[in-house]
Amino acid sequence: MNYEEILLTKTDDTFYRFYKLLDSTEPDTYTVNELARRAGLSYQKTYNMVQAINRQVQQFSTEQQRILTPHGGIDTRQLKVSLDWYRFQLISRNLPYKILYYLLTNPAPTLENFSQTLNISQSTIFRKLKPLTQFLKRFNVRLHYKTLSLTGDERYIRLVLYYIFHLAARHQSIQIFPEALQQRVQAVQALANEKIRLFTEVRERLDMDMVTAVFLLRQDQGHFVPDDPRYNVLLDDNPNYQMDVLKALQPATLSADDLIGELHFGFFVLNYPPLFRDADSAFLQQHLAYFQRQNNLIWRFCTDLLAAVQHACFNDRVNLAQDRVLFGNLLNAALGYYVLQGPFMLLQEENSDGVFKAYGKNQLYRAIDCYFAQLPPAFRAFRKVAPALTKAIYLLLIRQYIGNNPQFQLRIGLDIHASNYIYQDFAEFLDGMPYFKVHPYTSEQAAHDDVVITTSASLYRQNLATQRYFFFTLDDPASFVALYAKLYQYYGKHIMTLRRMQTLPFTDEELAELY
């Protein structure tokens, strides 16, 4: 179940997915038939959705004009409502968002008051909130209807609330909250920006306004985070720890122990990126340097695990630790699972069960699983979270595994009738993806290739029946885009066939536990 399925009704989720299709399609005019084919829906259902969306977007934005064409299609060039804003409008009218907002902003929430305010029965509330309560259970957070409260580890409660409100209100962040709260958030931000170097470096990775708002609102309701000695792996001799400057802004009623817990957890959140992507990121370099210098439990665990996996799956041909982005993400995953001793949410909208379905319990998965089954005593602190951490590490390493494992790659013979310069451009583009292995086409080698890509119409026609030959034209960029889509679909079928033959699948129950 993805994020939108938790917060939207099935009907609204269908509308969101259709609007996402419109938003990701090249701006142009499209007929109902074209949209129906792309969305995999019937003509009538697509027609009804097009009509409804035309009305919705005009309600959602005063700048939005009619987007229907004279013949009933859509002119997506006229769309002015962003996908984020469209999604927020859908989410904010649904019950899960409304009850969480009510819980977070109301000093004395009750089910009776909430039910009366919305003029909705309590039985309807229980029924419509089942997907949300199931999501909360993944993090051992419970929604109690009798007291209308969230209970569990306060850290998880805040992370879940941040996760939901950040993704829901990404278009406007804390503007969804009252003006008085916005001013308090700005006061904290001003001090942090001035005094905490790390704070300014993470602003592009985290919505720090939303983080601060959730912290303040939970504190206002008397919920605080106790300290935890596990934070020491991040705190010991860390020059980036400058959180004490925020003491003056903490509630006066806060005990000394709770104050330390709040500051330490706040620092942990500042080191809680969705995912590193830039190998040259200054923060990533600082992160790696700190853990290497400390040579602490997190660094030693990640180093030992990578050494075991690269020996089992890569025959020590590569040094995985030299991939800075990979190693930085592995450090953060290990840090999150170690500190929280439970699921560690990487803030992403789409889950990755497609990866698990495609590649199954292959050699990589078995090697990671075997490592945890024989976990060295020095790393027993990770034993409790081993199943979830196994899957997280699998996701981080799967691209490297594919790129070094020919059986998971498409062997592509590339036949381009143009200069070597142009050939190299296309070859390097395709070869840069771990799923493809490209080499120059020869008639002798073609029988051993999975796919042949050609700019020769005659060669394509001669081998059309094999369904392994793909044609594109050099002077039409759209042709190459279409080619990539066909390759991706072909790879999906190829890899699923291979997986069924050589690896065990994940069960539905196992997939449900991944997130």
pLDDT of 246 reads 83
Q: What is the DSSP string of 258-322?
A: HHHHHHHHHHHHHT--S----TT-HHHHHHHHHHHHHT-HHHHHHHHHHHHHHHHHHTT-S-GGG
In this structure, what are the phi and psi dihedrals at residue 118, rounded to the nearest 5 degrees? Answer: -90, -5
| Neighbouring residues of 102: CB distance < 8 A, sequence distance ≥ 6 | 109, 114, 117
pLDDT digits (tens, 9 = 90+) for 125-174: 999 999 999 999 989 999 999 889 999 999 999 999 998 998 888 878 89
Residue-wise burial string across 479-492, b where 16 or more C-beta atoms lie within 10 A, e elsewhere: eeeebeeebeebbe
* Helices (H), ranges, 295-437: 297-314, 324-340, 353-359, 363-373, 386-403, 420-431
Q: What is the DSSP letter of 380?
A: G
pLDDT digits (tens, 9 = 90+) for 166-225: 888 887 889 999 999 999 999 988 888 887 777 666 766 678 889 999 999 999 999 999
pLDDT of 515 reads 46
Other Cβ atoms within 10 Å of 379 Cβ, number = 20
Residues of the chain with pLDDT under 50: 347-350, 515
